[in-house]
Amino acid sequence: MNNNFYTIPNDWYNEFNNNFMNDAPNFNNMPNEMFNNMDNNNLADPKNGFLRGNLFNNLYDPYRNYKYRELKPNNKREELLYNILMYNFTLVELQLYLDVNPMDTKMINLYNKYLIDKKKLCDDYERQFGPLTMEGLNMGTNSWNWDNSPWPWEVSK
């Protein structure tokens, strides 16, 4: 078999499939009871989901007696960035769920609501502190202001 760089013998593929793929889990036949009857009651609010690293209450398994530390923004800029990160995390969690359950209209509606909330936060941040991305609100002005405001990791006191 040729992959444009070097020739791989056909028996290599046979050996790989016979030795490794037989032991691999079959995700197509895996039970999906953890996502059955999922509704908004099984979801943590975006803040708690973000802090603990899992949006789904029925899938969250805390490590021993570990208590996650709540982050406390020091100013309006940090608060907006924190909330944007929180909604980014929530949207990724819902995207992963919707990859498995693409017909769940409740979750699609919740995803769209959180997407609108995140967009409002990003717009608010960019109006006050400058662009977050190259496609940000303030990029259409006459001056190139991408690097005028402090970068998100820069400490402002």
In a domain, 89, yes or no: yes
Percent of the chain's residues with pLDDT above 90 = 39
Two structure tokens written together for 67: 């208590």
Report pLDDT digits (tens) over 22-41: 555 554 544 454 455 455 56
Q: Count how many domains the chain has.
A: 1
16 in any annotated domain = no
Answering whether pTM is above 0.75, one says: no
SS3 category, 146: coil
Domain enclosing residue 114, as ranges: 37-138
Evaluate whether residue 104 is within a structural domain. yes
CA dist 136 and 76 (Å) reads 19
4: in domain: no
In a domain, 149, yes or no: no
Separation between Cα atoms, residue 11 and residue 27, nearest integer Å? 26
In a domain, 43, yes or no: yes
The three-state secondary structure class of 75 is: coil
Does the pLDDT value for residue 89 go beyond 80?
Answer: yes
CA distances 70 to 9, 13, 47, 50, 79, Å, are: 55, 49, 9, 10, 13
Asked, for residue 10, whether it belongs to a domain, the answer is no
Is there a domain that residue 8 lies in? no
pLDDT digits (tens, 9 = 90+) for 129-144: 878 877 765 555 555 6
108: CB partners within 8 A, 6+ apart: 98
